[in-house]
Amino acid sequence: MKRSALIVLAVAALIVVIGAASSLFTVHQTQQVIVLQFGDPKRVISEPGLNFKIPFIQNVETLDKRILNYDGPAEEIIAADQKRLVVDTFTRYKIVDPLRFFISVQTQAVAETRLGPIVNSSLRRVLGEVPLSSVLTDERPALMAQITNLVGQQTANLGIEVVDVRIKRADLPSENSQAIFRRMQREREREAAEFRAQGAEQAQRIRATADRERVVITAQAQRDSQILRGEGDALRNKVFAEAYGQDPDFFAFYRAMLAYENTLAKEDTSMVLSPDSEFFRYFQNFESVLFPGRAAQQ
């Protein structure tokens, strides 16, 4: 084969390769593609796979088919009770109509530029009709659903579907937070002072009641003890009288033994008495006392 023929063949093969590379394109499963011809949309391809286009005339615009996140800036909102609140949100959306999306905004960046003010106005509209406490309580999910619905209605012509709008943070402005903190601190201090005063009053009342009961109980105990002591003394005197009536000598002896025991129990006891003292009469002649019959025989 001649050299010129080889060159022609190589050029033709190169043209075929370039043409094939320019006409073939793939669509990933996470993407959707718009085929443009001189900027004019011709068709939309949403299914993944290998596709063809007219080389050098048509081009493709790729859009994401997954759920996208838009994290907007924090906005200061005034609630229905005129309380100021800093709300930070994020929005999840997806492109459901690629052709309308391309015609309306063309790119994701432009779409989010349009989406930001819509989310902001919806936030102000919904949160501006409820008090601050509603945003900070269990009513928040219902409020987010209202915001999502409003944003969805206003973005339907952009070819997107708003999945949800979430409030990820809702705080008071820093100056309000300080004022509220100081007010809450004063309220807690006032409540603490009230509790301390109530506690002191109750303590004083309980202490007075306890003192009164102590006096009553002590008086009753003294009364009962005196009654019991009187009854005991009467019983003791009765027993002594009966014992004395049965055997006066033994009773005198028993009383003397008790006196000895109580008096001489301690080792350091010292007594100075006359030897013929009546206190020691049983020491002097105890046999005649204990055994009067034997003493008479002697």
Token readout for 274 is: 């006359």
Q: Residue 128 in contact with residue 78, Cβ under 8 Å?
A: yes
Q: Residue 85 in contact with residue 175, Cβ under 8 Å?
A: no
> What per-residue confidence (pLDDT) applies to 241?
83
Q: Average pLDDT of 187-196?
A: 94
Tell me: pLDDT of 148 over 90. yes
Q: Residue 263 in contact with residue 269, Cβ under 8 Å?
A: yes
Best-predicted range by mean pLDDT (2-11, 50-59, 260-269):
50-59
Of 243, 255, 242, 245, residue with least CA distance to 281? 255
| Of residues 105 and 1, more confidently modeled | 105
| Of residues 9 and 35, more confidently modeled | 35
> What per-residue confidence (pLDDT) applies to 114?
92
Question: What is the percent of the chain where pLDDT is above 70?
Answer: 92
- pLDDT grade for 286, boundaries at 50, 70 and 90: low
> What per-residue confidence (pLDDT) applies to 154?
92
C-alpha 155/C-alpha 91 separation (Å) is 12
Q: Residue 84 in contact with residue 78, Cβ under 8 Å?
A: yes
Tell me: pLDDT of 270 over 80. no
294: DSSP letter? H
Q: Average pLDDT of 184-205?
A: 94
Q: Residue 65 in contact with residue 98, Cβ under 8 Å?
A: no
Tell me: pLDDT of 72 over 90. no
Tell me: pLDDT of 141 over 60. yes
